[in-house]
Structure 1
């Protein structure tokens, strides 16, 4: 996985929150590329089992474990358990996430801590566990942290989410610097509006949805995010580290006026 091992195919990938959405799409994409998959779930065990079925149908092994990132630090030990069950660890995708739509002045400390634990502290600890496995193995590895466009731009009503995702973006950069000598690359992927259960769009055909506020005019599909994650986890990305890859249909290029909530194409005309 490092510069001297570009031909080494990743053997084991753990994707947190892979019971649906981006996590499931990533698990399937990496299985298609020959990886055995560690799957975690929080509330949807049936969804995790369906992900495992898709992985096994591709001829790869799958292991399933429960993960509640509000129960830290112990919850992060799931990385160790899945690595032991699958016989190693080459890839970690920190995909689990949560959020809130609450005005800043109405936020309570418990909500803030919950979002920060799941979206920032959890990935921090899971990343530590994964990196230690990769260093012991001595063949490098890949870590991808799934952030959000709100790693880069604020959103009203999402103070803890934005704080966590912004923090995870900078954490990614520090991890990249410190882990590079071990042949471990660390990157962030920052999705925009993606049709997933988190956005209330399960099984949506994104090509039939109209989003005037997104330059490409539609939401994204989870498989489009998974394709970028898979690239960063593969040998062709061996010289890419510390970067944040926006997968947002051009939304961030619109600056402060960006938003999938816009109802008109008027912004397209000078």
Structure 2
């Protein structure tokens, strides 16, 4: 008698809306059972779970508050145990500020660094240890931002955290490769999500002249890249940062040369 093949599972932090929800649904479509975490929107998380179950996959939901470390990382183990294993971790939960550097407090800095950097660090450890114990590799995808690569006025803690997560991704990739675990970053640009106040809009109706593709992105476009990195076709891809930004990062000095005033100095 052949041994049944274990069902693959993914855990996505901050999957109550936006990129997290789109990723949960995309991976469910690909045949994975899904662990969903939420911080403040339990209803949104349950709606995500309903969409996952509509694709015939199991969904498990738990609250995770990444300002409460290290205990919050226990949720990775709890959801993995409930689902039976863990094959993919997507560190998507995040927060930020739009506060001038001189007005920031140490508490502001620590909150953003905990959620956007220390949280993924600890969740990644828990996931990697479980994947190593399982013995058949795994995938970790860290959601950074274009601000992993370029700064933004008013977002000093966010930029510092995302840049740190980008280099953490590279170090994780080097150290975990021996266990068959790949680690990559996905760096979204402006995406129509609750964070940008644009959820559930048709992105093709919004004009963004400063972005080469001329519009913001849709969360499902980011989820498609995450799904590739979580799947078998990306088995030889590790340690990279994948920008999903409509060409925003390529503008560089070209965008700067077209500024006509000092508005950019304000958050």
Place the TM-score, normalised by the shorter chain, in its bin.
over 0.9
Q: Which runs of 5+ in 1 are unaligned?
A: 1-7, 264-270
Deviation at 1:15, TM superposition (A): 0.2
Residues 258 and 23 of structure 1: CA distance in aligned 2, closer, same or farther (over 3 Å):
farther
Structure 1 residues 169-223: Cα deviation after superposition (integer angstroms, max 9, x where no partner): 0000000000000000000000000000000111111010000010000000000
Equivalent position of 2:65 in the other structure: 68
Within the alignment, does 1:57 sit opposite 2:39 as a pair?
no
Question: Which 4+ residue blocks in structure 1 deviate beyond 6 angstroms?
Answer: none
Tell me which of 242, 251, 254 is aligned to 1:254.
Answer: 251
Superposed, which structure 2 residues align to 1:188-203 within 5 Å?
A: 188-203=185-200
- Does the 8 A contact of 1:10 with 1:90 survive in 2? no
- Structure-2 separation of matches of 1:94 and 1:18: 10
Structure 1 residues 46-88: Cα deviation after superposition (integer angstroms, max 9, x where no partner): 0000000000000000000000000000001100000000000
- Structure-1 separation of matches of 2:70 and 2:7: 27
- Structure-2 separation of matches of 1:117 and 1:160: 10
Deviation at 1:258, TM superposition (A): 4.9
Within the alignment, does 1:245 sit opposite 2:250 as a pair?
no
- When the two structures are superposed, what TM-score results if normalisation uses the length of structure 2? 0.93
Within the alignment, does 1:232 sit opposite 2:263 as a pair?
no
Query: Cα RMSD between the aligned structures?
Result: 1.4
- When the two structures are superposed, what TM-score results if normalisation uses the length of structure 1? 0.92
- Structure-2 separation of matches of 1:24 and 1:202: 12
Structure 1 residues 136-180: Cα deviation after superposition (integer angstroms, max 9, x where no partner): 000000000000000000000000000000000000000000000
Tell me which of 121, 124, 143 is aligned to 1:124.
Answer: 121
- Structure-1 separation of matches of 2:147 and 2:186: 11
Equivalent position of 1:134 in the other structure: 131
- Say which structure, 1 or 2, has more relative contact order (CA 8 Å, 6+ apart): 1
- Structure-1 separation of matches of 2:211 and 2:190: 9
Equivalent position of 2:163 in the other structure: 166
Residues 10 and 113 of structure 1: CA distance in aligned 2, closer, same or farther (over 3 Å):
farther
- Does the 8 A contact of 1:252 with 1:258 survive in 2? no
Within the alignment, does 1:99 sit opposite 2:96 as a pair?
yes
- Structure-1 separation of matches of 2:139 and 2:7: 9
Q: Which runs of 5+ in 2 are unaligned?
A: 261-267
- Structure-1 separation of matches of 2:104 and 2:24: 34
Equivalent position of 2:174 in the other structure: 177
- Does the 8 A contact of 1:10 with 1:234 survive in 2? no
- Structure-2 separation of matches of 1:213 and 1:9: 46
Corresponding residue SS for 1:153: coil
Equivalent position of 2:263 in the other structure: none
